[in-house]
């Protein structure tokens, strides 16, 4: 099973949220990066790659596209 990046973020917290969204949809995901995120746990210039199986890539993109369009509670205005 080859892992491929579905998206890249610069924040460890956001990386965990994205991984959680994918896992809730039944898609196994891992966070790959430079290793520096453990030293500097704040938003940084070190990219974190969200990796999924190549066979799940299209479905993962669809899940993330749907998640991105979900309105926030503050979007009622």
CB atoms within 10 A of CB 70: 8
Map out the domains of the chain as residue ranges.
1-50
Spatial separation of the C-alpha atoms in residues 71 and 6, rounded to whole Å = 22
User: What are the respective helix, strand and coil percentages of the chain, to the nearest 5?
Assistant: 45, 20, 30
Q: List, for the chain, all residue ranges whose pLDDT scores fall below the cut of 50.
A: 37
How high is the pLDDT of residue 10?
86
How high is the pLDDT of residue 12?
84
């Amino acid at each position: 099973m080859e892992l491929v990046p579905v998206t890249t973020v610069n924040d460890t917290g956001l990386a965990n949220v994205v991984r959680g969204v994918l896992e809730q949809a039944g898609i196994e995901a891992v966070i790959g990066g430079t290793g520096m995120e453990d030293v500097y746990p704040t938003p940084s210039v070190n990219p974190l790659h969200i990796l999924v199986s190549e066979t799940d890539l299209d479905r993962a993109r669809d899940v993330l596209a749907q998640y991105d369009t979900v309105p926030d509670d503050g979007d009622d205005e």
